[in-house]
Structure 1
Amino acid sequence: MGSRFEGMDEPEVELHELNILVVGCGGGGCNSIHRLNLIGIAAATTIAINTDQKSLKATECPNRLLLGVEYTKGLGTGGRPDIGEECALNASPMLSKIFQDADLVFIVTGLGGGTGTGASPVVADIARRCGAMVISIATTPFSFEGARRRNIAMKGLKRLREASNSLLVLDNDRLLDIVENLPVDHGLAIIDQLISELIKGTVDILTTASLINLDFADLKTIMEQGGISTILYGENADPEGVVRDAINSPLLDVDIKGGTGALIHISGGSNLTMRRANKIVSSITKMLDDEATVKFGVRVEEGMEGNIRMIAIVTGISEVVDGMPTGAPGDDLGKVLGKYGP
């Protein structure tokens, strides 16, 4: 008697390879792309976009796009976001071609100048119209750079939020809390390193096989929560330490209470048990809204014996913190955006 499964064949399905782009826009964004390429990120394509030809040539990146030569002669925007915006709009056909097959686009930018502030919302909007999921990561200026530059940044931040599926903000003022005695170039490199590791970690989660996998569909489910997001990163020998390090990170000082979604990935050595992984996921979940959507993955990695690492994307974070001043130096992204929100 033949098996009831006889004649059943596995259907031939052409696997779709996830197309991930990481785009640095403006001087600050290109600095982060430079750092990311030095670290190496095989599963994503990096692109540097700028209006300053000299700065663009100094960026370590295989794909570089100089915007607005007819407007700027390759000399930059002079700090004018309106020129940065015009340069990006003029390059719309080229940008649409770049993004036409993209599934996920990270846009990295520094706000307060001309290209990052003016062009990045246009770039994000074009990528999104082409069907890509767009996650933007933006840094805001130091307070000592002046009120004018910070106000320009806040206006750009509002537009970037509207153009992106999700937005993560890093306030440079927070950098002063931990690197005030370091040389300037070392201090700024820390932000670029953080951004690079967060992006690389997220890309690795989506493209590397795990014991419990997280995939692009999971990311889309979480990002459909929309709005403001943050990425938590913690590494320690025990579950409590991992969560503590992630929540207390001075560069990602955001209250995740009430968040509506989370994508949590945990990796460790052979000593990583389901009990320990569950402890981490439960600790994060307890801080979120009762109805929050939570997806998690687990991977065992060589070379991580005795150590546990967590990367979590949390979405739907509240934009207003009651009783706290907004727009002040060092405020978290909720307070920054709350002042300029609709």
Structure 2
Amino acid sequence: MRLLEPERSAWNSARRRPDPEHLGRPAGEVDVDGVHVAQHAVAEPAIGRQAAEESYDQVKQALRGADMVFVTAGEGGGTGTGAAPIVAQIARSLGALTVGIVTLPFRFEGTKRRGAAMAGIDELRTACDTTIVIPNDRLLEVLDKSTSMLDAFKIADDVLRQGVQGICDLITLPGLINLDFADVRTIMENSGAALMGIGFSSAPEGRAREAAERALRSPLIDTELGAARGILLSIAGGDDLSLIEVNEAAEVIRQTATDDTQIIFGATIDERLTGQVWVTVIATGLASPSSRPVARSSFVSSLTSTSEQRDELEPPAFLRN
């Protein structure tokens, strides 16, 4: 799964080919800049772990010099559950800020797979600075009933991409308010559990506020942001994005936090986003979140589609319903 294309970002990305039931591609391979580290580990975490351990030196060489490493996977299978923690351990041992962004299987995938996923997530949290877990069932709650199973898995993978992209764009794209890597490290280093929300609006008026409110209503956020020790806020728009709009979006997020919450935010400009505002919220330093109900009408039905897609930056499928 290619998360970022090198021609549009200064960041290199790890690449993982998901298990075949997800996207129909070859099974059980993990590549880090082309290094093959797991093979035939479709449903066996132990095999995925063993393969990663056997390729320890190759993975270490591939990751050497990285400032930040994203470990993305669909938990519950062999490669994501078994190999991902090893890759994270290697990255962190090299001094890289290590962020895990993984999906928890749908319940219909079975108890065994879900149990393996939970064990893998616990191990990954130990290995990473920050770990964002995306429960696929939360997406299921807001998807249209006509959504196919294949599309549901594609949506889950697209959310992983969006999470990585929101963080990377804060550092690599020009902006009204620029952040550097030290800012991101401040919020995400040794921060444990985290949550992510994504909001989008192309409304003719109030689009920044609407995007921020939608990010807070995201099915991926299942606890109040006041419980977070840190918040990383990304606001993205076209060259028509104003400083007043940035302030409006940031104020919506600030009002949900406490005085003790450290908030670091940036506003980035991408000419392909004219007429749009995107808000990505990452809340870190959370205890085990308690679930809250998700109303489909407040999240999906209110979202408008856009005629100008963003190439690699296009909305995840569930944001375009």
Indicate yes or no: 2:250 matched with 1:281. yes
Residue 266 of structure 1, CA deviation: 1.9
Indicate yes or no: 2:128 matched with 1:164. yes
**Equivalent runs, 1:221-260 vs 2, <5 Å:** 221-224=186-189, 226-236=191-201, 237=203, 238=206, 239-260=208-229
What TM-score do the two structures reach when normalised by structure 2?
A: 0.78
1:180 aligns to what SS in structure 2?
coil
Residue 164 of structure 1, CA deviation: 0.3
Alignment size in residue pairs: 284
- Aligned partner of 2:105 in structure 1 is 141
Distance 2:18 2:240 in 1: 50
Structure 2: segments with no counterpart, 5+ residues:
293-321
Residue 268 to residue 320, structure 1, CA distance change in 2 (3 Å): closer
1:138 aligns to what SS in structure 2?
strand
**Worse overlay, 84-93 or 179-188:** 179-188
Deviation digits for residues 137-189 of structure 1 (CA, Å, limit 9, x no counterpart): 11111112221211111111100001000011111112322143222222211
**Worse overlay, 264-273 or 102-111:** 264-273
Percentage of identical aligned residues: 32
Residue 216 to residue 269, structure 1, CA distance change in 2 (3 Å): same
1:126 aligns to what SS in structure 2?
helix
Residue 216 of structure 1, CA deviation: 0.5
**Equivalent runs, 1:65-104 vs 2, <5 Å:** 65-67=35-37, 74=39, 76-77=40-41, 79-104=43-68
- Measured on the aligned residues, the alpha-carbon RMSD in Å equals 3.0
Indicate yes or no: 2:159 matched with 1:190. no
Residue 179 to residue 120, structure 1, CA distance change in 2 (3 Å): farther
**Worse overlay, 122-131 or 301-310:** 301-310
What TM-score do the two structures reach when normalised by structure 1?
A: 0.74
Are the counterparts in 1 of residues 197 and 219 from structure 2 also a CA contact under 8 Å? no
Distance 1:183 1:153 in 2: 23
Indicate yes or no: 2:140 matched with 1:173. no
Are the counterparts in 1 of residues 68 and 96 from structure 2 also a CA contact under 8 Å? yes
Distance 1:144 1:223 in 2: 32
**Worse overlay, 100-109 or 194-203:** 194-203
Say which of 221, 235, 239 aligns to 1:266. 235
- Aligned partner of 1:216 in structure 2 is 181
Indicate yes or no: 2:87 matched with 1:123. yes
Structure 1: segments with no counterpart, 5+ residues:
1-32, 69-73, 325-342
Residue 45 to residue 57, structure 1, CA distance change in 2 (3 Å): farther
Residue 97 of structure 1, CA deviation: 0.6
1:182 aligns to what SS in structure 2?
coil
Deviation digits for residues 287-327 of structure 1 (CA, Å, limit 9, x no counterpart): 223211111222344354443222232211231539x9xxx
**Worse overlay, 282-291 or 108-117:** 282-291
Residue 92 of structure 1, CA deviation: 0.9
Are the counterparts in 1 of residues 135 and 220 from structure 2 also a CA contact under 8 Å? yes
1:296 aligns to what SS in structure 2?
strand
Residue 279 of structure 1, CA deviation: 2.3
**Equivalent runs, 1:38-57 vs 2, <5 Å:** 41-49=8-16, 55-56=25-26
